[in-house]
Structure 1
């Protein structure tokens, strides 16, 4: 029977157990504290934990270093044995020692590989390969003592390359597959990594050493270098082992860097078709290697560069043959034709980088061909500048003599127009085909085609040595063609065509300076042509062609004046016709984009007229006045009101020049023509703007006259100028007081006071001389006493005067 206590009894039991637990817990905590104190007292000083050092080299790295060092030491020992201790052994001992050591070194990697000791096997195999080189040397010393050293080295390197390759392939066949190898050291390739790269290195030498042994010529050496580079290229493209590919790539680029320049030199120095053909064959081999490498190279940038190189080498080789067969003048066209043949690669079934590389090679050839035409084109364009120093000296013999006044004509330029025309045609065709050029390059191609076509027509008269008049006509027709193209073209080329027409007109105008008739005819023609081009309503070239027409018209007026035998100052009046027409046309054009260029050209012509008239003051005054009239007429337009100041300056300057011509020395004659208009303008401004200050409205005008007149009056011994100036100053002062204007009141009053002082100065001097020596100090003392006595009153008077002046405008 189970007994259940009552709740009161159970609560008592629980409280008793909790009290026991609390007592036990207190005891345990006290004991723990004592034990902690005891341990702290008995424990020695704290010791820093040991620092864990990380190894500076990995285990495989240490292993490789040791193996390589061991192999090097054994190889050095073998070389020392072969070279030093070889003579102490007989023929049997020598063969036995070297043979046994070589066989042991070459055979040891087999069991090492089967046990997974790959690094050790690599080191031992390297020793064995080095011993084979020593075997070859020992064989040369024993059995082939009479053989040529270079030839024997060529044969030995070939044999070693074959032996090392066979050894590498044999080890790969004997080595177990990946399933049998050590899982901790998986193999990336069968066999060893060292023999095959060494075999490829040894294979670089046989052909080159053989060419040295037979004392071959430069052609044979170049062929050997290129054949070796081709072999390296084939190995780099076919073999997948990275060490072998690295060695092959280095060899291909290295031998190619020597072979290609050698073949290029042979092509350049070829004296006959046979030598040029042989050099072309070498360059063709190099080009084939480069294109093949580009074809199979997965990297686009490398493929593009090698394909471009291959294309250039092809052009150099074929161009060399053409240069050896054709006359020298056809050298550039021959190379250009070969370069254009590369454009057929655009439609070839080849990788994109290869096609682009060949197209870029063609572009390089075309660019170099254009460079050869620059001397002739530059001379045809800028050569007539020398005519400026020989104006109207007589017609030259032909168009070439017209541009070769100060510089000789370049040689071999008969084909320059052909080169320019061919490249222009290529650019024009390329601009129309989407496969050749991308959209952003079409406009530059079109511009280039137009410029080259223009250059062809420009240089053609000088190349063909046309008669002088025919050359001028040809250039005039070129201007007509460019202007017509600019006027009716709907592409992005009108501005280019107009600029080319302008350049041609400048060159034509300079070339026409040889004779008077040609100058007048050419300038009149170009003026009419550019004016007609500017009048075409559907053409937007007015801002260029209209100023060009006025510029040619200015030159025409100067030529007419010179033809009539006029002096420069008389020609200046004729030149003023151009700014007059320009001002009238600008007023008619309104806010057209052509307005400002036309006005600028007219202003330049006006400045030229003033420069021509500068040596003759009377006509200079007239020219200045006429320019002032033109500026005044232009200032009537609401948007050109600021030119009124220019007109005023021109009129004033004209009046001053005329007064100087009349030998007028009175300053009032120069200043009053400025004062009167200035005061009128100031009065009109005050009427429009009542808040304008009198200093702004009347100060400049009054100062221009009162200042110089006052200076002149102080140095004038007569009474008339001071009297008139004093009267004018009095009138100005009274007007300023009447209308309460600061500027007239103060300027007039100051001038009146100074004139009065100037007039009374002699009498004041007489009075001062008549007074005793003590009188001036006494008078000064009395003045100071009077000022001190009335200081406060004087301050009030000064404030009152300041307030009165402040109320004036």
Structure 2
């Protein structure tokens, strides 16, 4: 037996253990404080204890410091900076106010003398302050001096040279200020502001001078480029972070502007000779960017290499573009971009070379942006045929695509797709050799090779489709071509999956004889689905083409599903085959001239096949997706039959038969069994309503009685069976149709009999703890009572004052809110009680 001490003894024991824990915690905290002090850097002459204080857990051989070293409080730099900033700002405002407001009250000599004197004082003061170690104050006065020099420039222009051109004067003044502040910053090397200010002023002389002279755009571009080169040199070799950052911003802005000017002039040139000057500007920019990338850090070097590559493509491609027709200009730039791949043979720094390779990849990407919209038009154009099914086959491929795409302007798009697809295919085929040739620039990777193969496959497929549309091949040829392409893509996906399951050869980086790779297979599968939808829409122009295409698609996707061993792909292919089969049944109904409600039963052929297929597949992962797709076809059939009640009853009954067939299997019984019961009951109700039966009990009671007998026998055999399974269908078969009829019956006999029956069923459910009887009977009784009391409620409501119902509702809400927690507990108890019922 376990000994339990008396409460007093146990309390004393707990107090002793807590005291020991407190002592241990204090010891650990003391030891931690010593370790923190021992790890902190100490002054060179700081004394050290040789032994730790007594009682602090020191062990022989452990070092012990001189205790926690008190950190020297730092100077209040933030407060000082705020004060200096405010002081400099106030002085600046005063100087501006003096120049703009009080200027006119003094003579020319006095004005010049005051400004010059104050500026010289502001420029001289930082040198004195730096010698006295007052660097922050010196920086504030240097900022004031900067503003004063700008005011001096304004004053000189307003008084000494009022007739001078503003742009020309500003350009000269910027050059003077740049030289002044550069010399000042170099003389006082400890100040941080002057040299960045000089770099800022460097940006304007050439640009404003060219603008003031009315120079053409190409001269402005050269001015921008020279300024950007100066910025690049300062960014590489400048002194101080502020200088380099300012120069880097100027390089980005001025360099981008120069490139845009050169590109704009190149694109608008009327001939090759007119494109030479912009090309020279762009080529010079490329050389300058590459030279900077040669010496820049890695990240900036990569950007510089990319800019150099793109500028070179724009330069050379611009000259060649002017010599070819407008349709073929994009392929010219594409070929120039692919020529950048020769950088792998040039000894460039690794980052710069990678940047050039990025440019070589960006050019084909831009070409694809231009070439892919026609491919989308080929794939999505047949959507218009849905509104005119079987209106007649057009003469050519374009006739089925609509007139939205100007095909004469996209003649070069198939060439662009073919070139890019060929390049990606070559990279996929000879990837190991490519990696060896460009080892410093290309990082080996399976994903990259797989993406190349997938891109080559997709672009090759698009090339063939777009070429057929560009050539406007006959309609039958286009349909046959798209169908064959779908078959080819399915073959690639299926064979690739089989090879991939074969072993190590399936890796992405495997040689040509290995597996095709998951990326390529996924690309092929997606292309097969997209192509199937496109050719299916395209075939809607002709009845014969529709049957041929959807029949071929059903066979192809079924064969692929049987051939592949990948579960996900197999399920997707099987689902697609079911969809194509459903479309075929719909086409058959249209060929027979059936109305939509008459075609509804025919559409249940495919769901019946999927139920039988599911019985054969049993628990195979593909079985459930196939059966659910068939169920969607059955749902379409129900929707088609909604307009005609007799056909709707027939379709519901047939769907109930299919659900009952699926419920034979144990794994489908929990869902399919209930669904079959609901469908049968719904079919009976619809049939009764269609026949305008006024006494539905004559038809429902013969069904309810045997159903309840079967339920009783089921419960005797299996006491754990749910009351919903045993009695729910039988009771619902009579109660619900009777309730529907009683709701519109003006007589009192039917509602009375229904209410009595529902009351009896409810009491039986409560007595024998049967959930189905209790809920069904209670719901029908409540609705029946509500129907009978509704006229009186309306009369009473009409007699009451209009303010009374809102007031009663408010009181009810207050009462419920006040007793909310109690009502919630009662609801939970009711839920638990219902849950315990069978």
Aligned partners of 1:713 and 1:611: how far apart in 2?
A: 26
Residue 563 (structure 2) pairs with residue 536 (structure 1):
yes
Q: Secondary structure in 2 aligned to 1:273? A: coil
Q: Distance in 1 between matches of 2:768 and 2:77?
A: 100
Q: 1:638-666 deviations in whole A, cap 9, x for unaligned?
A: 21223233233333444444445555432
CA, structure 1 residues 673+369, in 2 after alignment: closer, same or farther (shift >3 Å)? farther
491-500 vs 545-554, which moves further:
491-500
Q: Structure 1: how far apart are the matches of 2:164 and 2:695?
A: 116
- 1:475 corresponds in structure 2 to 482
Alignment of 1:418 with 2:444, yes or no, is no
Q: Which residue of 2 aligns with 1:492?
A: 518
Mapped partners of 2:408, 2:560: distance in 1: 38
Compared with structure 1, are the counterparts of its residues 706 and 596 closer, same or farther at alpha carbon in structure 2 (3 Å cutoff)?
closer
After TM superposition, the structure 1 stretch with the greater mean CA deviation from structure 2, 201-210 or 569-578, is 201-210
Q: 1:393, 1:289 → 2: CA distance?
A: 63
Question: How much does 1:690 deviate?
Answer: 3.5
Q: Does structure 2 retain, via aligned residues, the 8 Å contact 1:488–1:539?
A: no
Determine if the alignment matches structure 1 residue 502 to structure 2 residue 511.
no
Separation (CA, whole Å) in 1 of partners of 2:546 and 2:203: 73
Shift of residue 279, structure 1, vs aligned partner: 0.8
For 1:239 and 1:639, the matched residues in 2 are separated by 77
Change (3 A) 1:683 1:267: same
Query: Do 2:708 and 2:730's aligned partners in 1 also have CA atoms closer than 8 Å?
Result: yes
Q: Distance in 1 between matches of 2:196 and 2:163?
A: 32
Q: How does 1:13-24 map to 2 (within 5 A)?
A: none
* Matched residue count: 642
1:689 to 718, 723, 726: 718
Counterpart position of 2:277: 278
**Structure 1 segment 569-648 matched on structure 2, within 5 A:** 569-642=597-670, 643-648=672-677
Task: Name the counterpart of 1:450.
Answer: 457
Q: How does 1:339-350 map to 2 (within 5 A)?
A: 339-346=337-344, 348-350=346-348
Secondary structure, aligned partner of 2:347: coil
Instruction: Report the CA distance shift for 1:674/1:596 in structure 2 as closer, same or farther (over 3 A).
Output: same
What CA deviation, in whole Å up to 9, does each residue of 1:770-789 have, x standing for no partner?
Answer: xxxxxxxxxxxxxxxxxxxx
- Shift in CA distance, 683/291, structure 1 to aligned 2, threshold 3 Å: same
1:377 corresponds to which of 363, 375, 378: 375
1:477 shift after superposition: 0.9
Please tell me whether residue 291 in structure 1 is matched to residue 290 in structure 2. yes
Q: 1:84 to 1:199 in 2, by over 3 A?
A: farther
Match of 1:394 in 2: 392
Matched ranges for 1:188-267 at <5 A: 207-208=206-207, 211=210, 215-238=214-237, 249=248, 251-267=250-266
1:549 aligns with 2:547: no
Aligned partner of 1:312 among 305, 310, 313: 310
Secondary structure of 2:525's partner?
helix
Query: 1:318: how far off?
Result: 2.8
TM-superposed CA distance for 1:481, in Å, is: 0.8
RMSD in angstroms over aligned alpha carbons?
5.7
> 1:100-155 deviations in whole A, cap 9, x for unaligned?
x9xx99xx99x99xx9999999999x99xx99x999x99xx99x999999889989
Summarize the Cα distance change of 1:672–1:429 in structure 2 as closer, same or farther, 3 Å threshold.
farther
Query: TM-score normalized by structure 2?
Result: 0.63
| SS at 1:395 equivalent | coil
SS at match of 1:272: coil
Q: Which residue of 1 aligns with 2:4?
A: none
Structure 2 distance, partners of 1:289, 1:470, is 54
Judged with a 3 Å threshold, the aligned counterparts in structure 2 of structure 1 residues 669 and 423 are, in CA distance, closer, same or farther, namely farther
Q: 1:543, CA displacement in angstroms? A: 0.5
Q: CA deviation at 1:684?
A: 3.3
- Note the residue ranges of structure 1 that are not aligned, 5 or more in a row: 1-52, 88-96, 172-186, 755-808
Superposition deviation, residue 262 in structure 1: 2.1
- Please give the secondary structure, in 2, of the residue aligned with 1:404: coil
1:765 aligned residue: none
- The residue matched to 2:600 in structure 1 has which SS? helix
Specify whether residues 628 and 240 from structure 1 end up closer, same or farther in structure 2 by C-alpha distance, changes over 3 A only: closer
The aligned residue for residue 524 of structure 1 is 551
What corresponds to 1:794 in structure 2?
Answer: none
Distance 2:352 2:727 in 1: 83
TM-superposed CA distance for 1:479, in Å, is 0.5
Per-residue CA distance 1:391-440 (angstroms, 9 max, x = gap): 111112311121116x3446521122222233334444445355266445
In 2, Cα distance between equivalents of 1:145 and 1:692: 105
Distance 1:566 1:168 in 2: 92
Q: Distance in 1 between matches of 2:728 and 2:76?
A: 93
The one of 458, 461, 465 aligned to 2:468: 461
Gaps of 5+ in 2: 1-74, 436-441, 501-516, 782-837
Please, which of 592, 595, 601 is the counterpart of residue 567 of structure 1? 595
Q: Tell me the TM-score normalized by structure 1.
A: 0.65
**Which of 572, 582, 586 is the equivalent residue of 1:558?**
586
Q: State the distance in 2 between where 1:690 and 1:308 align.
A: 78
Q: Distance in 2 between matches of 1:372 and 1:256?
A: 26
Q: Answer yes or no: is the 8 Å Cα contact 1:694–1:742 preserved in 2.
A: no
- What is the SS of the residue equivalent to 1:524? helix
Partners of 2:536 and 2:745 in 1: how far apart?
58
Other structure's SS at 1:576 match:
helix
Compared with structure 1, are the counterparts of its residues 267 and 675 closer, same or farther at alpha carbon in structure 2 (3 Å cutoff)?
A: same
The whole-number CA distance in structure 1 between the counterparts of 2:79 and 2:660 is 94
* Cα distance in structure 2, aligned partners of 1:311 and 1:350: 13
Offset from partner CA, 1:61-81 (integer Å, 9 cap, x none): 99xx99xx99x99xx99xx9x
- Cα pair distance change 1:250/1:683, threshold 3 Å: closer
Instruction: Name which one, 1 or 2, has greater alpha-carbon Rg.
Output: 1
Q: Could you tell me which residue of structure 2 aligns to residue 798 of structure 1?
A: none
Q: Secondary structure at the match of 2:379?
A: helix
